Structure formats: structure tokens, C-alpha cells
Structure 1
């Protein structure tokens, strides 16, 4: 099977984990702190405002909690987004308000976001689709103008930037994903950035049960009963640990090579698919934008898209679509909302295999199978479809 996503793990990661085992401490400790500092430096932000979490989803839920969102509050987010973002908003009792996205880039524009704002809007939560920054600078400016908090779902954007500004640092809070399908993996894991230093301190506290002292050992010698908890908030345990952080440190060092290879494969797909009838490739990246090359998507006639995916699966090529339009998911209560760009993208888009372990030969196989399936399905489609 040619997988759509696949991590790259090897001897260096195994050696880093072995060192953690040899230390006889696998919980949150020195390697967690080191990875936080390294990833913060990668982004160009202070280490004390960056927290290694157990998932991007946990970071989004914590972001909503830090903003004290609840009933009566609205958060604008693109319908083309992952369920984690909408769940984080809805679980707090706030209302996710879905905006449209550009059919081709699958990112929202400033106009899309602005059209969804109301006097109840408290925040905007934007995904960088496939690692492409999108109109994040304009959206950030809009949020500042309107006095709204901007949260970036940077799950796909581990190496993305506009100019010298890393995605995830345009707004007030951001969360990244390091799960097993991402470019940089820690098994499971994520990172949360909080621009406001005091709110960042609060985030670190809530991420570990709300305890004012992270460990009773830290309080030993400073208190007569150092084992008694001092709870400053109703937090959970969503922190990373030294095992996953050790993997992350190695992966971060390898990240430039990962992204470079993914860019090569993207350019190869672009060349191989140029002129293939019935297949539309992603639009050109705007000047000054840096991509993480997490997704490579094609857009097909909706009448054949699902059939093409089935044909490729039968040929041991796994494809998928991320992310189905959330305004169509009943639980979020969007009713009869119509978002033409998001709906067209959801009906036409298919993600092809893209990961740094993919070979050129496999990319050729994918393109040949895709072209054949499109031609076969288009020829078999009834007239008018």
C-alpha cells in the first residue's frame, strides 16, 4: 500500500528514547523543557510561552478555556477544518460559526471571515490548510482592528511562514500537531503558544492539574508539608513527556530535510500532472509564503471523485479528503447554511500520498493510476455529469 501519510523514524529517534530509559525518568522533565525551548526557537518565540502538550486537540481545548469562552459567545472558523477545532468551541458551550473558504486554496479569505462576524463574536480560529499560510496576515489585521482574539490551528503548518513570521505567531494563541501522521512526529503530541506571558503561565498551570507547583519535589525544603497540593484552577493533565520530547528533538533537527523532500515531491506531482485532462492541481503559492507541504491535493469532477478514490484504493494507493465541511455535520447545528466554496472543495478534492518517505517511482505510480482512473471514470459517466 502506498500510504497518504507516513512518518520517518529511525536509529536516531530510537537512541534518544534509549537515553530517556537509561535516565530512569520518562515523565515530564529535562528533555521536555529542552524540546520546548528548541521548538520555540524554531518559531522565534520565548520558550516560557511555548508548552509541549499531549496533542494539538488538547491545546485547542485549553485555548478556549484560557479565553473563558462559553454560552452566548461565538467563534468564527472555516467550515473546511478538523472536528477538533469545532469540538473545542462547542464543548465550552460557545457557538462555532462557520465561514466559507476559497474553493482552490481551501483557506478562508479576510472577506470570508468578515462576513461571519457578529456582535457576539469573541474569537476567530483559523486553520492553515495543508500547511499553506493563506491570508493569515490580513485575517490577523482584521482581528486586531475588531478587537478579536485570533487562534491559529497550526496543526499542518509546522514549517510554514509568511516572510519571517512563522504561522502560529500571527495571532494570540496557536496549537501544532505532532501526531503519527504529521511531518514532525512524537507519536502523539502537540505544542501550544500563548502570546500573553501571564496567560502562558496560566496555560502551563492548567495543563498540569491546575497545580501551582508542578512537582511536590520542587516544594520540598520550602514547605513543611510539601506533599499537600496547591490548586490554582481546575486543570487536567495534558502535558508531554520526556519520551515523546526526545523523539521530537530529533525530528526537529530532521525537519528541514523532511520539508525539502516534500517540496521535491510536490514539484514532481505538479510536473507529472500538468496537462492531465480532468485533474486540477493546487494553485501557485503566493510570493513570500513558505509551505510545510503537508497535503498535496487534486480536484476532480464531483461525479467521479469518489469512484476515482475507490479505483486507487483497489490499486493499493490510499487517498483521502481532509477536511469534510463541518457546516454539513448535524451536531454543530449550522442548519441550512450554504458555503459554496467549502462545499465545492469538499465535493471535488482528493489528497494524494505525500510524505518524505515516498519515492519518485511511487509518485509516478500514483500519477499513472490517477490519470487512468480519471479517464476511465470520465468515459463511463452518463452524459451531462
Structure 2
């Protein structure tokens, strides 16, 4: 089966894991701090602006807590989002307000966000669909003008930029994922950025049970007495990552350039080879100054044949999917008002394999089978 997602792991990652094993310490430690510093450098920010977590979902939950989102608050987010974003809002007793998206990029536009704002809007969450930055700069300006916090779900956008600025740093808080289906993988894990380092310091405490002192070893080394005693500043949970995951993630981050280069080459090949297929639409070109992570490659199909094409490709050993199911249609959120452009996209869009592990033969097979399936109407 040719997969939509697949990590690229090898000897460098194995060597990093061996070093952690041989150190005798696999919990949160020096390798975790080194990964955080490397990621901050990748973003172009100081190390006090980021902290690592056990998942991007936890980072979203923490973001809502840091922004004091709660009952009586609305949070606007695109209906084409991962369920974790809406769950983070609802778990705080706030109301997710879903907005429409551009039907071709599947990103919320600034106009979409403005149309969904209410007098109770406390925050906006945006997703960079497939790694495309979208109108993040314009949305950030809208939020600043209205005094509304902006959270960027940059799980798909680890290498995405606009005019050199990293996606995830346009707003107040940004979050990233290192799970098994992302570009940089660590088995699992996440990172949180905040423009205000005070929020990062608070997030770090909240992520470790609200403890003021997280390491007895460090306290002892600094000359403290009774370093085993603790001081709890808040009633929180444990959501830190560890040196084992961080060691893998650090190596992967160092390989990010080669990963994105291969993904870009595959996407450009798809653009060329699929451009002339009747009834098939490739992703729109990136605007000037925009850089994508090429996390997803999606096609949109005319004539209501998307599902039939997906089934035929699956039967021929090519896995495809649609990400993400529309959240305003999820019963738990009870938000049934129509969002017509997203609803059109959800019926026409298919994500095809795109990852750095695809060799040229697999890429050609995807092109050949997809062309044939579309021309045959999915039969």
C-alpha cells in the first residue's frame, strides 16, 4: 500500500536513541532542552518563547487555559480543522464558532473569520491547511485591531513561512505536532510558542503538575537543601515530553530541509502530470512570499466521483483520504448552520500520497492510477 503519510527514520535516529539509552536517563532532561532550543532557532525566536509537550492537542488545551478561555467565551475556528482544536475550546466550557473556508485552499480567509466574530469572541484559531500559510498575516491584523487572541495550529506547517516569518509566530500562540503522521516525527510530541515568554513560563509549570520545582537533581546541583520538597502553584496535569522523543525529534528537525525539498519535488511533479486531466483540479499556486511545508497534496474532482475514485485507488494499493471532516457537522458541537464553500470542498477533495519516503516509481504509479480513475469516472 502506498500511504498518504509515512515517517522517514533511519540510522541517525537510532544512534540518537542509543545515546539516550546509554545515558541512563530517558525522562525530560538535557536532550529535551536541546530540542526546544533548536526548534526556537528554527522559528527565529528566543528559547524562552517555546516549550515542548507530549502532543499538539495538549498544546491547544494549554493555549485555551493560558488565554483564560471559559464559559461565556466564543472561539472562532475553521470548520476544516482537526477535532482536537474544537475539543480544546469545548472542554473549557466555551463555544466553538465555526467559519467557512476558501473552497480551493481549504484555509479560512480574513473575511471568513470576520464574518464569524461575535461580541463574545475571545480567540481565533487558524489552521494552515496542508502546509499552505493562507491569509495568516491579514487574520493576525484583524485580531490585533479587535483585541482578540490568535492561536495558530501549525501542525501541518512546520516549515511554512510568509515573507520569511515562520507560521505559528504571527499570532499570540502557535502549536506544532511531532506525531507519527507529521513531517518531523518523534513518535509523539508537540511544541508551544508564545509571543509573551511569561505565558511560556506558565505553560511549562502547568505541563508538570503546577510544580514550581521540576527537578530535585537540578535543585541539589544548585546547592539547595531539602531538594526533594515541592511547591505546587496550580492544580494541573502532567503533559511533558521526554529525552527519548526529543532525541528523535532533534535529528528529524535537522533533516527537515531535505524532507521538504523532496515533498516539494513530488508536489511539483503532481502539478505537471495532473494539470491536463479533465475534471481534476490541483492545489492553487502559492502567493508570492509564501513557503509551504507540503504536508498534504489535494485534488478536487468534478462530477461527484470523489468517493468512487478513492475506492478504486484503494483497491489498487493507493491509500487516499480527506482531511479534515467538517466540524460544524459533528453532532457533539450542535452547529448545523450551513458553510457552503467548505461543504462543497468536503465532497470534492481527496488527499493523495505525499511524503519524503515516496520513490519515483511510487509517484508515477499514483499519477497513472489517479488519471485513469478520473477519466473512467471512478468505475
TM-score interval for Structure 1 and Structure 2 normalised by the shorter chain: over 0.9
- Distance across 2 between alignment mates of 1:269 and 1:201: 44
**2:324 counterpart residue number:** 323
Q: How does 1:50-129 map to 2 (within 5 A)?
A: 50-129=50-129
- Distance across 2 between alignment mates of 1:205 and 1:356: 36
Tell me the alpha carbon deviations over residues 213-240 of structure 1, each in whole angstroms, 9 at most, x when there is no partner. 1112333375553323210112211111
- Distance across 2 between alignment mates of 1:327 and 1:116: 13
- Distance across 2 between alignment mates of 1:190 and 1:141: 26
1:174 match: secondary structure: strand
On the 8 A contact 1:176/1:191 being kept in 2, the answer is yes
Relative to structure 1, is the Cα distance of residues 25 and 301 closer, same or farther in structure 2, using a 3 angstrom cutoff? Answer: same
Per-residue deviation, 1:301: 2.6
**2:240 counterpart residue number:** 239
Q: How does 1:218-257 map to 2 (within 5 A)?
A: 218-220=218-220, 224-257=225-258
- Distance across 2 between alignment mates of 1:244 and 1:223: 30
Give the superposed CA RMSD.
1.1
- Distance across 2 between alignment mates of 1:98 and 1:175: 19
On the 8 A contact 1:282/1:297 being kept in 2, the answer is yes
Question: Aligned pairs, how many?
Answer: 378
**1:365 counterpart residue number:** 365
5+ residue gaps, structure 1, are 381-385
In terms of mean alpha carbon deviation, does 368-377 or 100-109 score higher?
A: 368-377
Per-residue deviation, 1:148: 0.4
Per-residue deviation, 1:302: 5.6
Per-residue deviation, 1:26: 0.1
Per-residue deviation, 1:333: 1.5
Per-residue deviation, 1:304: 1.1
**1:8 counterpart residue number:** 8
- Distance across 1 between alignment mates of 2:65 and 2:99: 22
**1:144 counterpart residue number:** 144
- Structure 1 residue runs of 4 or more that deviate by more than 4 Å after TM superposition: 221-224
Relative to structure 1, is the Cα distance of residues 302 and 21 closer, same or farther in structure 2, using a 3 angstrom cutoff? Answer: farther
Per-residue deviation, 1:293: 0.3
Tell me the alpha carbon deviations over residues 84-109 of structure 1, each in whole angstroms, 9 at most, x when there is no partner. 00000001100000000000000011
- Distance across 1 between alignment mates of 2:244 and 2:227: 27
On the 8 A contact 1:302/1:347 being kept in 2, the answer is no
**2:162 counterpart residue number:** 162
**2:335 counterpart residue number:** 334
Normalised by the length of structure 1, the TM-score is: 0.96
On the 8 A contact 2:321/2:352 being kept in 1, the answer is yes
Tell me the alpha carbon deviations over residues 53-92 of structure 1, each in whole angstroms, 9 at most, x when there is no partner. 1111010001011111111100000001000000000011
On the 8 A contact 2:279/2:303 being kept in 1, the answer is no
- Distance across 1 between alignment mates of 2:358 and 2:41: 29
Normalised by the length of structure 2, the TM-score is: 0.98
Q: How does 1:346-365 map to 2 (within 5 A)?
A: 346-365=346-365
